[in-house]
Amino acid sequence: MDQDGFILQIRHISKSFPGVKALDDISINIRPGTVHALMGENGAGKSTLMKCLFGIYVPDSGEIILDGKPEHFNTSRQALDAGISMIHQELLSIPYRSVMENLWLGRYPKRGAGPFKFVDHKRMYRDTVNLFEKLNLDIDPRIWVMKLSVSKTQSLEIAKAVSYNAKIIIMDEPTSSLTEREVSSLFEIIRRLRGEGVAIIYISHKIEEILSISDDVSILRDGRHVGTYEAGTLTTDLIIKYMVGRDLSNRFPPRDNVPGKVLLKVDSLTSPRKDSFRDVSFSVRRGEIFGIGGLVGAQRTELVEALFGLRSVESGHIYIDGEEVTIKNPAQAKAHKMALLTEERRATGIIPMLSIKANMLLANLKRYIGPLGLINEKRGEEDTQKNIHALQVKTPSAKNKIRDLSGGNQQKVLFARWLLTQPDILILDEPTRGIDVSAKYDIYTIIIDLAKQGKSIIMISSEMPELLGISDRIMVMCAGRVTGILEGREADQEKIMRLAAQFM
Ligand SMILES: Nc1ncnc2c1ncn2[C@@H]1O[C@H](COP(=O)(O)OP(=O)(O)OP(=O)(O)O)[C@@H](O)[C@H]1O
Ligand SMILES: [Mg+2]
């Protein structure tokens, strides 16, 4: 701590990328033993600021005072050695290595001496078990990371950040894919660390979460620092106002789509896996927004992946427009004019080194090839610009690599990719995950517009207000079974929760 009582002072930090001033003279002070939330719209500069603290980016100007001492990090290693660790927004683990190897990467325990030093696997295993016990995590240290669910992978990142015994832990959207239970155990860990004097810098788009866990809240807008507030003095509306720069009184656009005839019918679909979905039956009408609710682990993702031909089914039937169809792979699903926006953009979505434009046009290349096999550049450019504009993707140019976009803006590009395939049945798995409040509104508007054009929309969401806000009907699942289908008008949070936890 310095004489002002701060563990960390961020002073006048600025950082530009070609065409973007990502950070403009940011100064924020962090107190030890507190949770300091960082909020702002997609592309506001949150991750960039954290990467400056963690030695991934070198700021153009400004300084960092840690424990009263100016620090200049050129690598993450230096930041870690100085007592700062970070959980990244995107999952960075190496899939084909074990959990424990990922955890201790670059710092394996060794035994022996001199040239006869070996990795001490026994100790590595023991250390891992001890750490997981302390954190209340149920993961086998020996299995490959690729076998873990998204939520377990995220828990592993959290364990890794904690294992460095840092004074400051940066958490960039740590809960975006955790189950409810995992979120509450993360909050327990956070409270314990805070009690030990650790400062946590916490980034999230979930306002309720921020209000419940944080002590101070700093808000960024367009690379500038709007202000730092005591959490106790804030409300949801105030936070939105500071983030967006105006009041956003309606969080959902009016829903004026009119459902028509049944387009998709699913009858007793059952997974070959015992612990997955069973006997799932439902139908979705043209022009209908069909929500699927449930807790993480309800097998909703597995269900829609099976519908889209990414997973096999043991039995059951799928009908489109009254005719039975066979969907054994995504190509067949696409031929039936289905599209699926997946939950985990890093693993199944974006191609990081390609441009925004390429990522957007990818699922639909046929549309851009003319009769002589020539590429219709103009049409590709037009479609790209139109969608960048409609979804307000924040970028200086469509030629930029998608990996340089902020997390939420990457999600918008993926959304555009599937829109361009002009599907009849659009399946969305957590479409607004990591997306800020005002961009969410834009996405809801687009979903409702598509429904008005007669498309069928299936939307998995763990955000109750969102399910209730835009669904015509809501199917709730628990442990792989359908526990109820509610009319949107009759549904409320309590009814959904009761069905979601039916077998628990
Ligand atoms: N490596 C990079 N190259 C070019 N531009 C970048 C790079 N990293 C970030 N940017 C740009 O800087 C701005 C801030 O991005 P940043 O990732 O910090 O936003 P964020 O607040 O974390 O948003 P989100 O909530 O979507 O994660 C964005 O306009 C982004 O496109
Ligand atoms: Mg970010």
SS (H, E, C) 121-134: HHHHHHHHHHHHHH
pLDDT at position 343 = 67
Question: Residue 394 has which token pair?
Answer: 């924040």
Is residue 369 assigned to a domain?
yes
Q: Give the residue from 422, 442, 469 where a domain finishes.
A: 422
Ligand 1 pocket mutation pick from 23, 53, 172, 406 by most atoms within 8 angstroms of CB: 406
Q: What share of the chain is helix, strand, coil (3-state, %, to 5)?
A: 35, 25, 40
Confidence of residue 1 (pLDDT cuts 50, 70, 90): low
Residues 129 and 47 in one domain: yes
Name the closest-CA residue to atom 9, ligand 1. Answer: 404
What single letter denotes the amino acid at residue 232? G
Residues 235 and 167 in one domain: yes
- Lowest mean pLDDT of 78-92, 257-271, 460-474, name the range: 78-92
Element (H, E) at 390: helix 377-390
Between these two residues, 502 and 277, which has the higher pLDDT value?
A: 277
440 part of a folded domain: no
3 in any annotated domain = no
Residue 42 CA to ligand 2 center (angstroms) comes to 7
Residue 212 and residue 102 in one domain: yes
Most confident of 85-99, 384-398, 432-446: 384-398
Mean pLDDT (the chain) is 90
Rounded-to-integer distance, Cα 249 and Cα 235, Å: 13
Are 350 and 367 in a shared domain? yes
Statement to judge: residues 291 and 166 lie in one domain: no
What percentage of residues in the chain have a pLDDT greater than 90?
Answer: 59
At 75, is the pLDDT very low, low, confident or very high (cuts 50, 70, 90)? very high
Residue 484: inside a domain, yes or no? Answer: yes
416 plus 429 within the same structural domain: no
Whether pLDDT at 499 is above 60:
yes
Q: Which of 209, 224, 244 is the last residue of a domain?
A: 244
- For residue 96, how far is its CA from the centre of ligand 1 (angstroms)? 29
User: Which of the listed residues 184, 216, 244 is the one where a domain comes to its end?
Assistant: 244
376 and 283 in a single domain? The answer is no
Residues 349 and 304 in one domain: no
Classify residue 489: in a domain, yes or no. Answer: yes
Q: Is residue 210 part of a domain?
A: yes
Residue appearing with tokens 């925004």: 356
To test ligand 1's pocket by mutation, which of 47, 356, 413 has the most ligand atoms within 8 angstroms of CB? Answer: 47
CATH, residue 479 = 3.40.50.300
pLDDT band of residue 16 (cuts 50, 70, 90) is: very high
Q: What's residue 464's pLDDT?
A: 86
Whether residues 75 and 134 share a domain: the answer is yes
Query: Are 59 and 179 found together in one domain?
Result: yes
Number of domains in the chain: 3
At 222-270, the pLDDT tens digits run 899 999 999 999 998 899 889 988 766 678 999 899 999 999 999 999 9
> Are 313 and 325 spatial neighbours (Cβ–Cβ below 8 Å)?
no
Q: What is the pLDDT of residues 169-214, one digit of tens each?
A: 999 988 877 777 778 888 988 998 899 899 999 999 888 889 999 9
Closest listed ligand to the CA of 403: 1
**Quick one: pLDDT band at residue 346, thresholds 50, 70, 90?**
low
| pLDDT per residue as tens digits for the range 126-174 | 999 999 998 888 899 999 988 887 778 878 888 888 899 889 999 998 8
pLDDT score at 244: 84
Are residue 413 and residue 292 in the same domain, yes or no?
no
Report the pLDDT value the prediction gives residue 436, as an integer from 0 to 100.
85
Ligand 1 proximal residues by C-beta, below 6 Å: 17, 20, 22, 40, 42-48, 89, 394-395, 404-409
Taking the centre of ligand 2 as the mean of its atom positions, its distance from the CA of residue 31, in whole angstroms, is: 22
Q: Which of 2-6, 44-48, 88-92, 434-438 has the highest mean pLDDT?
A: 44-48
d(CA 105, CA 195): 28
Mean pLDDT of 409-422: 88
Residue 252 backbone phi and psi in degrees, to 5:
-130, 135
Residues 401 and 417 in one domain: yes
- Atom 12 of ligand 1 has which residue's CA nearest to it? 22
How far apart are the CA of 295 and the centre of ligand 2, in A? 25
Q: What is the pLDDT of residue 345?
A: 55
pLDDT of residue 105: 86
Q: Closest residue (by CA) to atom 7 of ligand 1?
A: 404
- Asked if the structure places residue 443 within a domain, the reply is no
- The percent of residues in the chain predicted with pLDDT above 70, rounded, is 97
CA 220 to chain centre: 19
Tell me the residue range of the domain where 376 lies.
Answer: 345-422
Mean per-residue pLDDT, 267-286: 96
Residue 347, pLDDT > 70, answer no
Which tokens is 111 given? Answer: 């035994």
**Residue 442: inside a domain:** no
